[in-house]
Amino acid sequence: MTRLGAFARDLSRWISAYAANPDPRVAGCNTIALLVASNQPFYPLYVGFSVSRHVAPTLLTFLSTPFFLAIPAISRRSSVFGRALLPLTGLANVVVSAKAFGAASGVAMFIVPCALIAAAYFRPSERAFAFALLALALAIYLGIDSYGSVPIHTYSQAEYSAFVRLNALSASALVALLGLMLSGLVKD
């Protein structure tokens, strides 16, 4: 095996160990958090390729990356807070993205996977956390036009249509992955 192959194998093992948790709900949230964090560096490329060459506002989405990356470590100390941090970070990213690109970009679609995580990854005894996160998701959805009304950069109508397609595809893929994980068809 080459050095690069050995490095990739060792990195994969380290990431799997970092995400691992005996509680399947926590392990699922850890996996999702690391998946989202690993995809964030590509978001400016997706936007540049499919929406516009003006990608500078996408760099603001990196503000959430350290939080996504920290979720597995935090969940080791508090499984409830670690799981809650996933939709909280996602919802904060929606707010930042709406300010960066505008509500017309369709970033509100990412509220759906955040709400799904809030609804599905908490136990009945933790329903207060789930309901609080669901209420926050609803409040952000209802207020998105107020904080996303004057974006940092205004795109053309055609660019906003492309943004909506990109965000719809991304949010739908995340919801599909969540469904597959929750059904047991895909392991964490």
- Domain ranges across the chain: 3-183
Q: What is the pLDDT of residues 102-133, one digit of tens each?
A: 999 999 999 999 999 999 999 999 999 999 99
Task: Kindly report the pTM of this predicted structure.
Answer: 0.93
Yes or no: say if 68 and 89 are a contact pair by the CB < 8 Å rule: yes
CA angle (8, 13, 19) in 5-degree steps:
125
162: Cα separation from own chain's centroid: 20
Q: How far apart are CA 115 and CA 78, in angstroms?
A: 20
Identify residue 104 by its one-letter amino acid code: A
For 70, the enclosing helix (H) or strand (E) is helix 65-77
pLDDT of residue 92: 97
